Amino acid sequence: MTTRNLFLLLILLIPGFITAQGTRQKICIDSDWKFHPGHASDPLQDFNYKIANIFAKTGKAEGTAIDPKFDDKGWRSLNLPHDWAVELPFEFSGNADMMSHGYKTIGALYPQNSVGWYRKTFPISLSDSGKRLAIQFDGIYRDASVWLNGFYLGTNASGYIGQTFDITDYVSFGSENVLVVRVDATQAEGWFYEGAGIYRHVWLLKTNEVHVAGNGVYIQTKTKGNQAVIDIETTIENESLQRVQCVVQHQILSREGKVLAESSEIPLQAMIHQQKKLSHQVVLPSPNLWSPETPYIYQVKTIVRANNMLVDEVVTKFGIRTIRIDPKRGLLVNGKPVKIKGVNCHQDHAGVGSAIPDYLHFYRLNLLRRMGVNAYRTSHHPPSPELLDACDSLGILVMDETRLLNSGKEYEDQFRRLILRDRNHPSVFIWSIGNEEGYVQRTGTGKRLALSSMALVSELDPSRTCTYAADMANEFTGINEVIPVRGFNYREKAMADYHRDHPLQPVIGTEMGSTVTTRGIYQADSVEGYLPDQDITAPWWASRAEDWWPIAAAHNWMSGGFIWTGFDYRGEPTPYQWPNINSHFGVMDMCGFPKNIYYYYASWWTDNDILHISPHWNWQGSEGKTIKVWVNSNADEVELSLNGKSLGRKTMRRNSHLNWDVNYEPGILKAIAWKNGREISTKVETTGKPYELVLTPYKTTLFADGKDAVVVNISVIDSLGREVPDAMNLVNITLSGDARIIGVGNGDPSCHEPDKCMVGQWQRSLFNGKAQLILQAGSKQGIVMLEATSKGLYKASSELHTIPAYKPAGSFTAHRTSGQKQKMNLSDKILGADISHLPELEAHGMKFYDNGTEKDAIEILKDHGFNYIRLRIFNNPSAKNGYSPNKGFCDLDHTLQMALRVKKAGMKLLLDFHYSDYWADPQKQNKPEEWKNLQPEKIPEAIRSYTRKVLLAFQKQGTLPDMVQIGNEINHGMIWPEGHIGNPGNLAAFIKAGAEGVKSVDTNILIMLHVALGGQIDETIFWFDNMFSRGADCDLIGLSYYPRWHGTLADLDFTLRQIIDRYGKPVNVVEYSHMKSEVNETVFNLPDRMGTGTFIWEPLSTWEKVFDGTGHSTPLIGTYDEISRKFIKKQN
């Protein structure tokens, strides 16, 4: 046999050689790791790492934790991401680096805390033996060495940019494999808290031997007329032992996965163990352009075939947009000027440190968006991939920054990996090559380093330019001589001179502002290390918000700027140090609770109505003393009053704020503002003592995938339901169900309470009325109960549902203009009330009076401006387990009688189908007794028939409802268990059946879908995306809003606006009780008249009722005279 033939035979015997066994897989391996601290200076406590000569022979690992046979049963079990630094205590040190890292006991002075070992055991199937396998680490802090089965894979020095290691040669196929990582955080990289450990995701990658190389698809776009030209560069890698003939093709997909265009097939000969690049061009007609306002994401599917078999398939997300930074007009996105309203942020959050769950990125970015933020600088390091994914989807522009300006092999490679990884993200509009390199930025060395970095950008991503963040004034030397876009860190008063002298170099504010404040504090306290929560104090190198922003706003040539910082972060306590352990720079604290300066930026960075008073009005013991009151607003004029007495009306100067000196007396401090002829108002008031705890989860449905997480804010209210802004109570937290608390915080920059507690011992003190916990779901579906207690206070509890992970079934945008919106006259505003309880009250003999005169309760409500009544209906409330056993209140007969009274009064009617014999709400959606034995496929017909039967009865007596709800507060589904949100297909089918029942009687009846998610934007979008994509539809969207469950008014406003923007449907707050004026003002001031109105829930008999226990109207009913005057009579 010839040598050549022998070689070919051997090739054919290699398992899986050029035989497609499925395409690539990317498997998250974050779960079930083992962890143990090592020691940076004592090898015996570091598992003999520097004693055993493990590098003498390949695979030598005996006597160390690297050995696959090492017994790690005594090690701690955990899931990634993990930051062990956040678990360490605080300790005072005079060392400046320890101070700048937040006084955590880690680094060279604490060798016992600075090394961590991780081990992961996992199987790899024998069927994978023909594949290429790799481990991808998205981020480890830092200096991580990696082994598989005792074989050294390599080291990644960077604490920020990820690294991928090929493990193919070292795998034990058909058995267990042991992955070991030694992390050494002794040496810091930055001058701020950086964490320690495997704090980002880890992935197992499987590909065929011929595949698209890692980060091997590069997409550039440009627009020509009404079409987009998409240039795609692809790197194909052949890791087999023969030349392979391939065919490569690309498909352009919509965000839902529909094929919109495709390239021709290009043949390619892939040489042995080589990479080869090829280029395609695809033209897409009528593209949706990506922008901060419309962040549309496309996908490229890259298809590789060899020997007529599919060997690889890669999907890459991208956006179609043009970016240019012009020296005269600033940043241009798709040719339109966009002023950068940005923030700098470190990767650090209360409770979790740098190990930020994916959900938390969205939560933080949405807080920033509400402030008007449209840009994010990744200070001063490569960000996580999930952060960029979130920015892509939310329309946040990103300045993507490498860790260090350096052209040496290590740092050039880090920057190279960053560019290759991130260059397809449409949110990334510019690269930052470094920050405040004071040793070199004015020198020829700095200039040369910058040129090398710029050359790398030009090589790898010619579609973008770069900048450098210079803490220099009007200086054109060193780096500034060559950098394409001049970045200013502070020094804003030098910008105009610099622009005058260098008019062809664009300018951007890379770090601006930097007011230092402490949330809820109004007097400097050098002992505790607190600063006033106003735009007063800035370090010598920085400036206040009102110093820099008016300059940026006034000049088109200035592209805008990035505030230092969006959030407080651990480390860099300024100007005070110990006991301070984190910064004061944020417009929000570490939990994301806004400080007062947040509302300054919101006033001038958004078009929303902003009217904010500070400070709070709990100043017992300061009666008669002068309190300086700040009002932030974008209104034209503002009038302030205390307890009904005017303190004067003032004109608001643009990009500024207003002040009043007010002699303190307890009561209500109210501001009324006028904006474009409209009236808006807000107030702060003196509260009572803490009375009851409140838990506010920012979503109540989580995926049972071991990763999904939710922020739960903790506050306290007084006996009248008002939030107490100065409460400092210690709160204990307990949990049941398959979930875990992963961190707590309160935003206090001098609090030394642990962010991580022992299981069963979670607690945190409130700081100025607020604290926070972060909850992560387990892997089992079910109910999670969270409870908070505090000495002397009523407890709070919250129920969350964990469900299987799933995605929308298709496009939700198809429903943006569907439904029956055209039937709804948006000028017909609703001031409604749910008075379903009225027949029961009357059955007990209650009569109703207004100003001493007995009248029908419906007529009294009408006299005060109400024009719509909501009535609930149960299937069989007379049933044993029904709402009203043997009496049948809220059954069809009682509801028909009420409908006659409503229509006789000349009011409109909303009929609320509960599809239950009892209350239906997020905690219970019990199936009617009559339907309990129905198979799931029979339930839609039961819903359809019942709905039709009820409406035919209303039609027969001439009282057809004007609007119908298909279910009540159905964010967790309806008609359980079949219609639970964990079964989205069933739930959508049930909703459609109800709608069909309505339309079969009268197509003019408006249909509302109602969820109890007033302030939970993420869950709201999740719910409606999934229902609309599965064919459910509605004419308008209804929300419940109760502050104790649904967050702040700002949360409500943001949710309503996002619904309108995303779905194009009118909205209604169909249940509320407290904050009557504020809720109505929020809804009626929504843009484009899309806020249709409100329904107060049971004003006759429940919280803050407008009638007392004897049926006499209370002063609260007068609130609706004012609401009607402002929003109903005026607009109608």
List, by residue number, the catalytic residues.
436, 511
CA distance 468 to 485: 7
Q: Yes or no: say if 280 and 232 are a contact pair by the CB < 8 Å rule.
A: yes
Give the residue among 506, 512, 595, 598 at the shortest CA–CA distance from 547. 512
449, β-bridge pairs: none
* Cα 192 from Cα 567, distance rounded (Å): 13
CA–CA gap between residue 284 and residue 941 (Å, rounded): 44
Other beta carbons less than 10 A from residue 607's beta carbon: 8
Distance CA 560, CA 865 (A): 46
Both structure tokens of 367? 């807080």
Starting at the earlier edge strand, list the strands of the sheet with 771-777: 692-697, 709-717, 771-777, 739-745
SS3 label, residue 787: strand
DSSP conformation letters of 921-943:
BTTB-PPPGGGTT--GGGHHHHH
Return the bridge partners of 399, or none: 377, 430
* Helices of type H across 906-1010: 939-956, 984-999
Please tell me the distance from the alpha carbon of residue 511 to that of residue 818, in angstroms, as a whole number.
45
3-state secondary structure of 795: coil
Q: Is 1121 helix (H, G, I), strand (E, B) or coil?
A: helix
Q: Find out whether 533 and 521 touch, Cβ atoms under 8 Å.
A: yes
Q: Encoding tokens for residue 443?
A: 């020198």
Report yes or no: 1057 and 608 within 8 Å, Cβ to Cβ. Answer: yes
What residues contact residue 409 under an 8 Å CB cut-off, 6+ apart?
Answer: none
- Alpha carbons 568 and 570: distance in angstroms, whole number: 7
Question: In whole angstroms, what is the distance from residue 27 CA to residue 41 CA?
Answer: 36
Tokens of 660: 């009043």
Contact 377, 726 (CB under 8 A): no
Q: Would you tell me the crossing angle of helices 939-956 and 984-999 to the nearest 10 degrees?
A: 30
- Residue 514 has phi, psi (to 5 degrees) of 90, 35
Q: How far apart are CA 588 and CA 582, in angstroms?
A: 13
Closest by CA to 795, choosing from 732, 712, 739, is 732
Specify the amino acid at residue 717.
Answer: I
Residue 464 contacts residue 430 (beta carbons within 8 Å): yes
Closest CA to 1091 of 1130, 1062, 1127: 1127
Please give the C-alpha separations between residue 723 and each of 181, 593, 669, 715, 1045, in angstroms, as whole numbers: 47, 14, 15, 7, 13
**Residue 884 half-sphere exposure, CB side, CA atoms within 13 Å?**
18
For residues 198 and 216, the answer to whether their CB atoms sit within 8 Å is no
CA distances to 555, 844, 1099, 1106, 1118 from 1114, rounded to whole Å, are: 54, 20, 11, 5, 8
Q: Which two tokens stand for residue 978?
A: 């079949």
Q: Which tokens go with 545?
A: 């918000």
List the alpha helices (DSSP H) in 83-195: 96-100
> What values do phi and psi take at 1098, rounded to 5?
45, 65
Q: Which residues 6+ apart lie within 8 Å of 880 measured at CB?
A: none
Separation between Cα atoms, residue 610 and residue 627, nearest integer Å: 22
